[in-house]
Chain A
Amino acid sequence: MSDVSTAQGLADPAARKALMAEVERVPGAAKPDPILKVDKIVRRFGGVTAVDVEHLEVQRGIITALIGPNGAGKTTFFNLITGFDKPSSAGQGAAWTFQGKSLNRTAASSVAKAGMVRTFQLTKSLNRMTVIENMLLGAQGQTGERLALSMFRPTWRSQEREVNEKALGLLERFKLLEKKDDYAGSLSGGQRKLLEMARALMTDPTMIMLDEPMAGVNPALTQSLLGHVQSLRDEGMTVLFVEHDMHVVRHISDWVVVMAEGRVVAEGPADTVMSDPAVVDAYLGAHHDTDLGDDALLEDGVIAGLEEEEKQRNEEAGA
Chain B
Amino acid sequence: MDQIFFILQSVVGEAIAPATAGVAIAVIGLNIHFGYTGLLNIGQAGFMLLGAYGMAISITKGLPMVIAVLIGLLLALIFATILGAPTLKLRGDYLAIVTISAAEIIRYVGRLASLEGFTGGAQGIPGSQYSGPFRNLSFFGSGSWTLSPFNYETLGGSTAVRLLGLLVTIALITVTVLFVRRTKLAGVATRSPMADGLVITGLVVLSLLAVLFTFPQTLTRTGVDGWWVRGVAWTVVLICSLLVLLLVRSPWGRLLRGVREDEEAMRSLGKNVFAVKMQALIIGGMFGALGGMVYVLASTVQADALARQITFFAYTALLLGGAATIFGPVLGTVIFFGARILVREASRIYVPDSIIADNKTDVFSLMVVGVALMLLVVYRPQGILGDKRELRFHV
Which residues of A come within 8 Å of B, CB atoms? 82-84, 107-110, 112-113, 117-120, 124-129, 133, 136-138, 140, 142-147, 150-151, 153, 156, 160, 181, 183, 185-186, 199-200, 202-203
Contact = CB atoms under 8 A, between A and B. Distances in A.
Nearest to A143: B251
Contact of B270 (A113, A133, A153, A186): A113
A150 to B, nearest CB: 4
Contact of A137 (B188, B266, B283, B390): B266
Interface string B245-279: 01100111111011011101111111111000001
B268 A127 contact: no
A128 B38 CA distance: 12
A120 B250 contact: no
A153 B262 CA distance: 26
B395 interface: yes
Contact of B272 (A109, A151, A153): A109
B389 interface: yes
Contacts of A145: 251-252, 254-255, 271
Interface string B307-348: 000000000000000000000000000000000000000000
A300 to B, nearest CB: 50
B269 A147 contact: no
Q: Please report whether the interface of chain B is mostly helix, strand, loop or mixed according to DSSP.
A: helix
B389 A137 contact: no
A126 B251 contact: no
A154 to B, nearest CB: 12
30 contacts: A107-B267, A107-B272, A109-B266, A109-B269, A112-B268, A112-B269, A117-B268, A117-B270, A118-B268, A120-B264, A125-B262, A126-B258, A126-B262, A127-B394, A128-B257, A129-B257, A136-B254, A137-B266, A137-B269, A142-B251, A145-B252, A145-B254, A147-B252, A147-B279, A150-B246, A150-B253, A151-B247, A185-B392, A186-B392, A200-B269
Contact of B251 (A82, A124, A128, A150): A150
Contacts, number: 114
A126 B393 contact: no
B269 A128 contact: no
Contacts of A156: 250-251
Contacts of A128: 257, 260-261, 390, 393-394
B258 A112 contact: no
Contacts of B264: 84, 108, 120, 124
A127 B273 CA distance: 17
Contact of B247 (A108, A150, A203): A150
Contacts of B261: 126-129
Contacts of B356: none
CB-based closest 10 A-B pairs: A185-B393, A144-B251, A112-B270, A150-B252, A150-B250, A124-B265, A126-B261, A108-B267, A113-B270, A127-B393
- Indicate the member of A109, A138, A140, A160 with the most B CB atoms within 10 Å: A109
B285 to A, nearest CB: 14
Q: Which of A119, A146, A150 has the largest number of chain B CB atoms within 10 A?
A: A150
Contacts of A138: 269
Contacts of A142: 251
B265 to A, nearest CB: 4
A266 B252 CA distance: 46
A10 B362 CA distance: 77
Contact of A144 (B250, B392, B393): B250
Given A128-B257, A133-B254, A145-B251, A181 B188 contact: yes
A265 to B, nearest CB: 28
Contacts of A119: 268
B112 interface: no
A112 B267 contact: yes
Contacts of B270: 109-110, 112-113, 117, 140, 203
A124 B259 CA distance: 12
Nearest to B242: A151
A81 B7 CA distance: 66
B147 interface: no
B392 to A, nearest CB: 7
A144 B252 contact: yes
B389 A124 contact: no
B174 to A, nearest CB: 30
A75 to B, nearest CB: 13
B268 A82 contact: yes
A109 B187 CA distance: 33
Contact of B267 (A84, A127, A140, A151): A84
Interface in B372-395: 389-390, 392-395
Contacts of B113: none
A97 to B, nearest CB: 19
Nearest to A205: B270
Given A126-B261, A142-B251, A147-B279, 14 more contacts: A119-B268, A124-B268, A126-B258, A128-B261, A128-B393, A128-B394, A145-B255, A150-B247, A150-B250, A160-B251, A185-B393, A200-B268, A202-B269, A203-B269
